Amino acid sequence: MRNEVIDRVGRLYERLAAESGDAQGRGGECNACGKCCDFESFDHRLYVTRPELMYLSSKLGGERVKPMTGGMCPYNVAGKCTVYDYRFAGCRIFCCNGDAEFQSDLSERALEELKSICTELDIPYRYMDLATALNAFSANQ
């Protein structure tokens, strides 16, 4: 079951990359400055689901998922995402200079797929802010 979750989340991430690539600039131009990973100072929120955490955890080579103790994502180190290839759907969709409607549509469709993964593979569906999600997952891994 775990492998199927990982496969399906990986396919979802590939689709997000393809759809953003086909969007003729509507997705925005991110220069990976990392400022939006500091949620408090950027006034931004990121919500994630359990399948995304399972995917991240499976890619960490045995390392534990980190808790979040401040306003900054613990995977942002010196302004750079240290889990870029495994980052969450919201990190892939959000761009500070992108088209909000395009991002909202992409986000809705990504959430539908994440919900389906949960329903079909019997995983509790919860849409949690990043700190709550990381802290709960890291305490139970």
Contact positions vs ligand SF4 (CB under 6 A) = 30-37, 46, 73, 75-76, 81, 83, 87-88, 91, 95-96
Instruction: Closer to ligand SF4 by CB, 16 or 46: give it.
Output: 46
Instruction: Closer to ligand SF4 by CB, 70 or 120: give it.
Output: 70
Instruction: Identify each DSSP E strand in 49-105 by its residue range.
Output: 76-77, 80-81
Minimal distance, residue 14 CB to ligand SF4, in Å: 17
Question: Phi and psi dihedrals of 41, rounded to 5?
Answer: -75, -25
- In the chain, the N- to C-terminal Cα span, in Å, equals 17
Minimal distance, residue 81 CB to ligand SF4, in Å: 3
Single-letter amino acid code for the residue at 133: A
Instruction: Closer to ligand SF4 by CB, 88 or 137: give it.
Output: 88
Minimal distance, residue 76 CB to ligand SF4, in Å: 4
With a CB cutoff of 8 Å and minimum separation 6, the contacts of 16 are: 89, 92, 93, 106, 110
Minimal distance, residue 42 CB to ligand SF4, in Å: 7
Instruction: Closer to ligand SF4 by CB, 37 or 123: give it.
Output: 37
The CA-CA-CA angle for residues 109, 129, 76, to 5°, reads: 100
